[in-house]
Amino acid sequence: AQVFERRRDFLHNVSTTLIKNHDFVAAEELRSKNMLKNHALAMSIADVGWRTFLGMLAYKAELYHRQFLTVNPKNTTQACHECGFVMGTAGTEKLILADREWTCPKCHAHHDRDHNAAQNILTKGIIKLA
Ligand SMILES: [Zn+2]
């Protein structure tokens, strides 16, 4: 129980910092723990739960008058943020977890996997907000 509480406290700190420092935060509705690069965050979310974390973000957004919303996680990893090409289509292989960086076969943009996914999530969030 002590570990659980420590991890919940940690998620409280992370969610407060995220909301306080940004006017707008978008997150995926569901995110598996092995997609999280930050080890402490991954462990805490495995324990406490992604939904609980999203709940913290939602009520803190209200508290601090920020915008927070969740988006459908479909293709956020596989789609190129520059041109929209989706890996796994047109005869290409889907990206796997080990692919930390990749180059889009269509527009040749070079991506950090997580940064590209984050940009897709933000774009989806902005579209949903409009
Ligand atoms: Zn591309």
Tell me the pLDDT of the chain (130 aa) as tens digits. Answer: 799 999 999 999 999 999 999 999 999 987 654 456 677 787 888 888 888 999 999 999 999 999 999 999 999 999 999 999 999 999 999 999 899 999 999 999 999 998 999 999 999 999 999 8
Quote the ligand 1 centre to 115 CA distance (angstroms). Answer: 14
Residue 43 pLDDT: 82
Quote the ligand 1 centre to 79 CA distance (angstroms). Answer: 8
What 3-state class would DSSP assign to 40?
A: helix
Quote the ligand 1 centre to 122 CA distance (angstroms). Answer: 17
Residue 70 pLDDT: 94
Quote the ligand 1 centre to 46 CA distance (angstroms). Answer: 32
Enumerate residues 6+ apart whose C-beta is below 8 A from 9: none
Residue 37 pLDDT: 64
Residue 49 pLDDT: 87
**Using CA atoms, how far apart are residues 98 and 109, in angstroms rounded to an integer?**
19
Quote the ligand 1 centre to 86 CA distance (angstroms). Answer: 8
